[in-house]
A and B are shown apart, each in its own frame.
Chain A
Amino acid sequence: MNQSLEQNDAIWIAASKDMLINHFGEVSFAFHRISGDTHMLNFLSRSILDRLIDTPTPAHEIVDKTPEHVGLTWNDCPLPVVLKTFKELSDTGLIKEIPDAINTRTRVRA
């Protein structure tokens, strides 16, 4: 995460093979096989994780659409909170950047 996520072209994906996830209402638990740690996820973390489970996605796209995805406005779900949540998921290893992946959609748009 060398540049700010909201402008980051890098493609991210959930570490699906390395984790187990269980949902209990608004709370989810994720077990990360590599670290052996169990994480408790709130709806925001889960929203980011869910969108990265099957679909590699640019970081900025995930960040941009997070409030909409959880049914909140930017006022209720401010950017620093989204960025912090994204970083926490990255730090735990539950999501990871795909090295050298090319985000063709973003480049074409640019």
Chain B
Amino acid sequence: MPDYYPLSEISDRHIIDSLTADRLSMHLGPFVIGLQARYNQHSIKTHILPHLRRCYKTVNFSTQAGVLTDSQVSLRAPNILRQFIRPQIIPDPGFEFPALPLPLHMAPLALEMGLNLTIALQMFRFLIIHGGVVAGDDGGIIISAESGGGKSSLTAALMQQGYRLLSDEFTIIDPETCELVAYPRPVSLKNESIDAVKSFAGEHTISPVLTNTPKGSIAYRYARPSDIDQHQIRAKPKLIIFPTFKSKALPKAKLVESADAIVRLIPSSTNYQALGEAGYKVMMHLGTHIKAYEITYGSTEASLQLIHDILAGQIE
């Protein structure tokens, strides 16, 4: 078992040295991910370290060589020229992937993309579904939406209501128990949702905004220390929400038939096919035991009210 410590207890120098020497590993939820950076110390200190410090300060990291990891994510220039001249960065999860090179100052986006790629495509112990998860005392809420559907804003809003963040990007389900597994990384906010979340969560909870990225403006709502403290605590799924944010839409909730929910969830999974029977059984469990609702709303308040009403049994 490697020794690991919260990132806040590891010095800048040690983190940078470990990143360049392939010895930095992040221990979060069920995964140990090795991180590497192929840049000089100044570049790492300026562009990568601040994001790690802001978003992962209470997450455990190890800095020893030879730690067994689930996967490795390397941050590197797309070619030698772009390491030095108008430097760029790409996430390299260790397999061929057509990543768009980003300017080096977008290193936080590259790192988060790299972590997403490795979870989505290299983890086969769990069923992975694209969707956020928060949990209350009586179970977890799966929030499944296409990009831009309002998943992350709703996740952040529910955090504000006292729900624990399990994950923003991925619903991670243990096929043995059908429990939701926590992986509380920062919540990725895009464009208008950044100000919306700032307005109720406070400016101090949001990272600096990256503008003009391929996805527009991006910022991260930090996972709270309490979310990270509970990263080994699983939750039983209680509810599935398919949210759609539409400006000025009247709030509406509709029960989704089980078969329809399954048909929506299967294509949202990044590894359903690879898991075979285990993945099928999880999907059937969700369809059989967990109610799913489609909600349409035009404001954060409306979305929270709809979820409150659903949980209170006021919407059938």
Contact = CB atoms under 8 A, between A and B. Distances in A.
A24 B276 contact: no
Given A22-B284, A22-B287, A38-B266, A31 B259 contact: no
Contacts of A31: 277, 280
Please classify the interface of chain A as helix (H, G, I), strand (E, B), loop, or mixed, using the class held by over half of its residues: strand
Contact of B257 (A24, A29, A36, A38): A24
A27 B263 CA distance: 11
Give the interface centre of B257, B262, B276, B280 by most chain A CB atoms within 10 Å: B280
Contacts of B191: none
Contacts of B41: none
B280 A24 contact: no
Interface size class of A (residues with CB under 8 A): 10 to 19
B288 interface: yes
B79 interface: no
Given A24-B257, A24-B258, A36 B273 contact: yes
Contacts, number: 37
Given A29-B259, A38-B266, A40-B259, A22 B277 contact: no
B287 to A, nearest CB: 6
A33 interface: yes
Interface in A1-49: 20, 22, 24-25, 27, 29, 31, 33, 36, 38, 40
Please classify the interface of chain B as helix (H, G, I), strand (E, B), loop, or mixed, using the class held by over half of its residues: helix
Interface in B43-60: none
Contact of A27 (B259, B272, B273, B281): B259
A29 B262 contact: yes
Contacts of A20: 277, 280-281, 284
Contacts of B281: 20
Interface string B243-278: 000000000000001110011001000001100110
A31 B276 CA distance: 8
B263 A24 contact: no
Contacts of A29: 259, 262, 280, 283-284, 287
Contacts of B266: 38
A25 B262 contact: no
Contacts of B284: 20, 22, 29
Contacts of A25: 257-259
Contacts of B277: 20, 31, 33, 36
B265 to A, nearest CB: 11
A25 to B, nearest CB: 7
Contacts of B258: 24-25
A40 B283 CA distance: 13
A22 B286 CA distance: 12
Interface of B: 257-259, 262-263, 266, 272-273, 276-277, 280-281, 283-284, 287-288
11 contacts: A20-B281, A22-B284, A24-B262, A25-B257, A27-B259, A29-B284, A29-B287, A33-B276, A36-B276, A38-B283, A40-B263
Interface of A: 20, 22, 24-25, 27, 29, 31, 33, 36, 38, 40
- 4 tightest A-B CB contacts, nearest first: A27-B259, A31-B280, A24-B259, A24-B258
